[in-house]
Amino acid sequence: MHAVPLWKKLLKQNFSSIEKLMDFLELDSENRDKVLLKSSFILNLPIRLAEKIEKNSLDDPIGRQFIPLKEENKVGEDCKEDPVNDCTFQLSPKLLQKYQSRSLLITTSACAMHCRYCFRRNYPYETSKSDFDFEIESIKKSFSQKEVILSGGDPLSLSNEKLRGLLKELESLESIQIIRFHTRFPIGIPERIDDELIEILGGLSKKVVFILHTNHPKELDDELKLRLSHLLEKKITLLNQTVLLKGVNDSVNILEELSWKLISLGVLPYYLHQLDPVKGGSHFKVTEEKGKEIISELKKRVPGYLVPKFVREIPGELSKTIIL
């Protein structure tokens, strides 16, 4: 019988009870009154991130991303259940064909954490089958595909055993040159990058790219740096995407600090996303005008390679649309 990996043990310790989290954060009655106690999008927060949140504060940049607030009930005019029209591009619930040369595989609905602004918080995930036979065959038949994007949920929610099997199938596809992971898992549970995962990734012949999702410098630390160094040793490219969020990172000082801290970990800033207008997330919205101002000022402060592209997703376009 195999021992349960450390990362799975840590995952089971995530906060899922809003009452326990409020007690842990020592919220007073005034702050507790602002918290949304019941939501269809349940609380899911690693202890490691909860420990970084300032006590008795709803303004902490990490706390704002994960603590459900009553503000979620205020629905903006442009807010939608499916803000990027994912369902329009489904070849199956697990396979999205949005781009000419890339296939997007929805590997799982599971995630290490639930970000309150998540654009897939209402996605109709496939739960009836666990294999990817149809999806692999579909990608195989499309000779134009150069890259497979593993998304979710979070692809690192899959066990090493399942990942090994999936990656073996993707390795067999001749046209595929790049396997890309979109993951936030290492930010909350860096122990997910364990020896077995490193062995699996290091044995691949395809180019591997990791797109991390980090919004604030407080999310980054020495433990994460150590884990990411193992990926860098395997020649895995590390990039980061950030979502522009009101009250979290909507200032040039924060994004400047984030860029410098990312590169110190061997990670290049890639995208700064304008918020997708998902229902329940309108209180995070920052205007495009302010985003442009932030990027213009950021260009004066850091090298060009540390300035993320400011983009938004327009459903139907064949790539992200650059705002500035």
State yes or no: pLDDT of 146 exceeds 90.
yes
CATH class of the structural domain 86-322: alpha beta
pLDDT in tens, 25-77: 999 999 999 999 999 999 999 999 999 999 999 999 999 999 999 999 987 77
pLDDT at 1: 63
Number of neighbouring beta carbons within 10 Å of residue 315: 14
- DSSP assignment of 284-297, as one string? G---HHHHHHHHHH
Query: What is the pTM (predicted TM-score) of this model?
Result: 0.95
SS3 107: coil
State yes or no: pLDDT of 3 exceeds 70.
yes
Average pLDDT of the residues of the chain: 95
Domain ranges of the chain: 6-73, 86-322
pLDDT at 291: 98
**d(C-alpha 275, C-alpha 285), whole Å:** 6
Binding residues: 111, 115, 118
**Sign of the CA dihedral running 76, 82, 84, 85:** negative
pLDDT at 76: 74
Contact 323, 310 (CB under 8 A): yes
Cα–Cα distances (Å) from 84 to 41, 143, 166, in that order, read: 18, 26, 26
pLDDT-derived band at 161 (thresholds 50, 70, 90) equals: very high
Number of neighbouring beta carbons within 10 Å of residue 99: 18
Binding residues for [4Fe-4S] cluster: 111, 115, 118
**d(C-alpha 306, C-alpha 261), whole Å:** 10
Report which of residues 199 and 317 the model is more confident about: 199
pLDDT in tens, 97-137: 988 899 999 999 999 999 999 999 989 898 777 899 999 99
Note the maximum CA span of the chain: 59
